[in-house]
Amino acid sequence: MAHAIQIKFSRKIKALRKTSGLSQQKLAELAELDYKHIQRLESKRPTDAKLTTIEKLAEALKVPAWKLLQFRD
């Protein structure tokens, strides 16, 4: 079962991606990640994200990396 922080991160990535008007495929291209990796990160049972992945996603989404880890309860 996914941990609460994984679920929060998953929701954050998905929300920022949609706000940016990006598909999972386009985000993957911009972040230089595999499309399936984005799918796994946004799934109901998300995988852990490495710091390098967080950095790539932040650059692709044009937000500071810390913002990807800022959650509201």
In a domain, 58, yes or no: yes
Q: What is the CATH number of the domain that holds 59?
A: 1.10.260.40
Say what the pTM is. 0.90
| Residue 13: closest CA among 67, 73, 51, 72 | 67
Domain total of the chain: 1
Write down the pLDDT at residue 1: 58
pLDDT given at position 71: 86
- For the chain, 73 residues long, give each residue's pLDDT as a single digit of tens: 568 899 999 999 999 999 999 999 999 999 999 999 999 999 999 999 999 999 999 999 999 999 999 987 6
pLDDT at 3: 86
Our measurement of the distance from residue 12's CA atom to the centroid of its chain's CA atoms, rounded to an integer in Å, reads: 7
pLDDT of residue 24: 98
Structural domain that includes position 16: 4-68
Joined together, the tokens standing for residue 71 give 């959650």
Quick check: is 15 in a domain? Answer: yes
Instruction: Evaluate whether residue 25 is within a structural domain.
Output: yes
